[in-house]
Amino acid sequence: MADNVSIKDFGGNAAVIATDQVTDATLGTVEVQYMKLMDGTIDSTNKLVIDSSGRLQANIGNLPTDLAVSGTITALSQTISIPTSETQTVGVQISGTWSGSLTPEVSIDGTTYYPINFVDTGGGLLGNTWSANNLGQINVGGTLYFRVRASAWSSGTATISLRATSRSSVISLNESLPQGSNTIGAVSQSGTWNIGSITTMPTTPVTGTFWQTTQPVSGTVGITGTVATAEVPPTTVAHALATVTTAGTSVQLPANTAKSITIKASTTNTGIIYVGGSTVSASNGFPLYAGDTVSLDISNTSVIWIDASINAQTANWISNE
């Protein structure tokens, strides 16, 4: 039997039916009619295409990835909801004049809802309740429904606009960063870092953001790695001649903020200068014979007292800050 069989309809009109002669194990040699696959519209001339590998080609266009819902809340417990089964992120925009609290919530069964945190797109901070107009994003992956609920209400009308998308765009500080390179940011500081007094050893690691004066750190700070320090050169120098008029009556040096001090017994002295604190004397002071010097690291020159073994002995001193 040849391909393309000719048949007649009830009116006797002949027509050629496109067929192909094939051999089947059960039916034997038969004619198989060709079928034309179209795009589905009536009287369409747009045929579906089979490529050289036998695969069907079809242009289905761009599938929608976003879903938008909007509404208003004017009373306690009212909600605006959106399905999230095919989405990763929901954007929430709240506008209007209102007073109350709005809580974002998610659900798997559509009956029981649980609060969920949102990310404030203006500052990147996490939150779980809105009390003013805002634009936020919520990670809703794995849920079926999202809603905004009036958990407290005083007055006004809040307009809620929700947009669910399959695109993932929420990164919050309590979640893992996505794979690849992520820019976290940098810390810059001008001026002096004031950590405060270190008094006790903490039992747990210190984490979080540290501000200079408002959040002083107490405890022992452990540093791993190399720490580069810079020595600040002195900018102020003070100096004078101190005289012990009466041996056994110590003399206090005048007050000057300092980092270090050098004291030199005058070369014209015939006795001994004794250097120490407020209780210095010939029996406990550091002795300086004529021309001898001593250098000390101090915070103020007034902590230094001098005495002498005989009357009218002098010492020169110089300090820096």
What are the boundaries of each domain within the chain?
A: 5-57, 66-165, 237-320
pLDDT at residue 93 above 70? Answer: yes
**Tokens at 8, concatenated:** 């007649």
Residue 177: predicted pLDDT: 57
C-alpha span between 316 and 296 (Å, rounded) = 14
DSSP 38: B
pLDDT at residue 278 above 80? Answer: yes
pTM: 0.39
DSSP H/E element including 21: strand 19-24
pLDDT band at 50 (very low <50, low <70, confident <90, very high): confident
Residue 297: predicted pLDDT: 92
Mean pLDDT score of the chain, rounded to an integer?
A: 80
CATH homologous superfamily, domain 66-165 = Galactose-binding domain-like (2.60.120.260)
The dihedral formed by the CA atoms of 172, 178, 180 and 181, expressed in degrees to the nearest 10: 0
C-alpha span between 1 and 25 (Å, rounded) = 17
CB of 149 within 8 A of CB of 105? Answer: yes
pLDDT band at 86 (very low <50, low <70, confident <90, very high): confident
Question: 151: which residues sit within 8 A by CB, 6+ positions away?
Answer: 76, 100, 101, 102, 103, 129
pLDDT band at 315 (very low <50, low <70, confident <90, very high): very high
Bigger pLDDT: 123 vs 100? 100
pLDDT at residue 190 above 80? Answer: no
pLDDT at residue 224 above 60? Answer: yes
Stretch 81-103: mean pLDDT: 92
Closest Cα to residue 140, out of 101, 102, 179, 114? 114
Phi first, then psi: give them for residue 194, nearest 5 degrees.
-105, 100
C-alpha span between 117 and 136 (Å, rounded) = 10
pLDDT tens digits for 136-184? 888 888 899 999 999 999 999 999 999 988 876 655 555 555 555 666 6
Bigger pLDDT: 79 vs 44? 79
Q: What CATH architecture does domain 237-320 belong to? A: Sandwich (2.60)
C-alpha span between 306 and 248 (Å, rounded) = 10
Stretch 191-200: mean pLDDT: 58
**Tokens at 318, concatenated:** 């110089």
Amino acid at residue number 245: T
